Amino acid sequence: MTHRMPSTLPIAGRRLLLQLGALGCLSAAAGLPAAARPEAAPRAVAPRGPLAADELNNIAVFKAVSPSVVNITALGVERDFFSPRVTQVPRGTGTGFVWDEAGHIVTNFHVIQEASGARVTLSDQSSHKASLVGVFPDRDLAVLKIEAPRGKLPPIALGTSKDLQVGQKVYALGNPFGLDQTLTTGIVSALNREIESVTRRTIRGAIQTDAAINPGNSGGPLLDSAGRVIGVNTSIYSPSGASAGIGFAIPVDEVNRIVPRLIRDGRMVRPALGVTAGPENMGRALGLPKGVPLVGVAPGGPAQKAGLRPFARGAQGGIVAGDVIQAIDDTPVADLDDMLTELERHQPGDRVSLTLWRAGAVRKQAVVLAESED
């Protein structure tokens, strides 16, 4: 017998009966044996086309460069409270990259600053004790060395930074927040930026990028689209301490000038003129032109041999005019930092031409650089 729903039942009541009936059907289906239940088939996967050209390049760069990028763990000394025993414990991480098959690793100075030791983890996750080869804090660069099979030490490809253009694509590869082998992309946002090193010396020519750089990326490579190093990631500009789209890298031309000297000498051997520069306000106080006024000339040094003379007090208390260094090899130097930067481009024994101002007269003087004692 067929039962019909009374037509006089209110609409809300009829809806309730329909819902109860649906629940009854579901309950009945749930009670069916597994073989009798409706099959829950996965949805078909839509095919995708080939990867875009830029995606393929991203993948190619990562595969080519990642074996050359390493994780650096800075170690500190910790003393056991209940015994005189001391142990080395991790105190921070950063990034570095393989410079050559001899095991030299380039990173930032601030990554290993004040550390008692360091360990380098290669891309195959093997860990190696690192020894310190040399540092140059003024450019925030350091070189470590590990003993590992040459097959595990593929040197990174070097590019150049002198021909970079704003807008070209870049990659940052490193270990942000300890997450190793992380690739981020961006562009060259600006060139010739100035950033401050840990010694407060100015690092000129820095590369600005919007590729995400975070704590732990320090010391890692900034790459061009061919996978060549164009800079060493060193700092970020961020109120929060995390990436805000403004990161900076030391240009590779500067790195390639300094690192071989650290490997050869164990330190950055500074060429010296044998002079003492006056304070910053001296030029303004005496109405001098831009440059580096001298207040001291080392006896027997290059400057004295070349006839340079410092400012001094005369017998009557007046100022006796000395020399102001205005340029080195025709490159203007406005202050001591400029002068040191230009001198660091040379080696002890090089001959340079100084542009000098004294009492209103300008002259040029050749000087042979000596080795600094610091």
Instruction: Report the CATH number that the domain containing residue 132 is assigned in CATH.
Output: 2.40.10.10
CA dist., res. 168 & res. 186, Å (int): 8
The verdict on 241 and 320 lying in the same domain is no
The verdict on 88 and 141 lying in the same domain is yes
Within a domain: residue 82?
Answer: yes
Would you write out the chain's pLDDT as a tens digit for each of its 374 residues?
444 444 444 544 445 444 444 444 444 445 556 566 777 888 899 988 899 999 999 999 999 999 999 999 998 755 555 555 544 555 678 999 999 999 999 999 999 998 888 999 999 999 999 999 999 999 999 999 999 999 999 999 999 999 999 999 999 999 988 888 999 999 999 999 999 888 888 888 999 999 998 888 999 999 999 999 999 999 766 565 666 678 999 999 999 999 999 999 999 888 999 999 998 889 888 999 999 999 999 999 999 999 999 999 888 778 889 999 999 999 999 999 899 989 988 999 999 999 999 999 999 999 999 988 76
Environment class of 68 (CB within 10 Å of its CB; exposed 0-12, middle 13-18, buried 19+): buried
User: Could you tell me which of 99, 62, 95 has the C-alpha nearest to residue 225?
Assistant: 62
The verdict on 257 and 278 lying in the same domain is no
Residue 19 DSSP code: H
User: Tokens 């309950």 correspond to what residue?
Assistant: 27
Within a domain: residue 206?
Answer: yes
Residue 317 DSSP code: S
Within a domain: residue 159?
Answer: no
Q: What is the pTM of this model?
A: 0.76
Within a domain: residue 247?
Answer: yes
CA dist., res. 327 & res. 325, Å (int): 6
User: Residue 113 sits in which domain range?
Assistant: 63-152
Environment class of 325 (CB within 10 Å of its CB; exposed 0-12, middle 13-18, buried 19+): buried
Q: Which residues are catalytic?
A: 110, 140, 218
Q: Tell me which of 265, 292, 318 is where a domain ends.
A: 265
Within a domain: residue 51?
Answer: no
Rounded to the nearest angstrom, the gap between the alpha carbon of residue 196 and the centroid of all alpha carbons in its chain is 13
